[in-house]
Amino acid sequence: MPTVLAIETSCDETAVAIVKNREVKSSIISSQIPVHLQYGGVVPEVASRAHLEIINSSITQALEQAQLNWNQIDGVAATCAPGLVGALLVGMTAGKTLAVVHEKPFLGVHHLEGHIYATYLSEPTLEPPFLSLLVSGGHTSLIHVQKCGVYKTLGETRDDAAGEAFDKVARLLKLGYPGGPAIDRISSQGNPKAFVFPEGRVSLPSGGYHPYDASFSGLKTAVLRLVQQIDNTGGKLPVADIAASFQATVASALTKRAVKCALDHELHTIAVGGGVAANSALRAALQTACAENNLKVLFPPLKYCTDNAAMIGCAASEHLAAGHTSKLDLGVQSRLALTEVMKLY
């Protein structure tokens, strides 16, 4: 497998990594959470400027940590879609410049494909086909991974992504930003059965419900109404119990759909990726359900659940080994379906 220097700047982490043979030689991640905390969410313009300020030093640190020079780098990669356009442009411009200056092939990488490859970093023998459950702030999907660059979407959220729902409920409960870790922490002090919330089913025109698609807007609204009801009666808000019940509902909804999808399509492994893959309730629910159904479930290390460049480098290394490279006039895109990955090469 080629050695790739990869850059990830799709949102609010400035990350640079060097990956070889699905092994991380270096990984630099600079989070912007303290910067955006005061706004309660990511401000695109602020994120882009923060990337600009630290991208050069991050590249230098990645090379120093790996103890490699440019003669030992086979290719340069950068996330090109989906994400915040301004933020993506910073990483793409840096990546293309490095590729031209050092005469290396360039690869634009799909951010969600990176999350799929995050599991490969801890499971280097993993090979398709398998089912990928992608759960992050912007995406919640069930993906049939057929081979490098070939993916089929089997299920997805019809509204809020799971991570987005965590952020919104955390804001409602005044737990701060980012919402996922905050809810996970306080849920350990609450009763996950204290309140019954709707898991959110998606109706089919012909009747019945979609077996794999999810909806979290109704769940979010149910939490809002409960909070308003308690506030109106002057009672004390049981934040830990509400958070634990909400988290358990999300974990149950995702687990049921993922397990059914894997069984229906005779896929024996579920690989989970994205920021919500770090959630303790989801991990526990999936591990229990998969054990009961003779399925294998894999999670990336916690440090590779959130956005990072190591996962981008891992995906790029496999593409480069297959002879896939991107043109230098490749642009960035705020949206791009995972099924269109090969349009990047």
Do 18 and 3 contact (CB within 8 A), yes or no?
A: yes
CATH code (residue 211): 3.30.420.40
Lowest average pLDDT, out of 4-8, 37-41, 229-233, 298-302, goes to: 37-41
Answer yes or no: do 113 and 159 share one domain. no
Do 153 and 143 contact (CB within 8 A), yes or no?
A: yes
At 274, give phi and psi (nearest 5°). Answer: 105, 165
Answer yes or no: do 288 and 260 share one domain. yes
**Residue where a domain terminates, one of 265, 281, 299:** 299
Answer yes or no: do 151 and 253 share one domain. yes
Q: Where are the beta strands (DSSP E) in 82-178?
A: 106-110, 130-135, 140-147, 150-156
* Confidence at residue 36, expressed as pLDDT on a 0 to 100 scale: 73
Answer yes or no: do 140 and 209 share one domain. yes
More confident residue, 45 or 211: 211
Do 44 and 74 contact (CB within 8 A), yes or no?
A: no
What is the rounded distance in angstroms from the CA atom of residue 100 to the CA atom of residue 245?
Answer: 52
pTM: 0.94
Answer yes or no: do 201 and 278 share one domain. yes
Residue 38 has pLDDT above 80, yes or no: no
Structural domain harbouring 220: 128-299
Share of the chain above pLDDT 90, in %: 91
Residue 118 has pLDDT above 80, yes or no: yes
All residues at 6 or more sequence positions from 234 whose CB lies less than 8 Å from its CB, including other chains: none
Give the total number of structural domains in the chain: 2
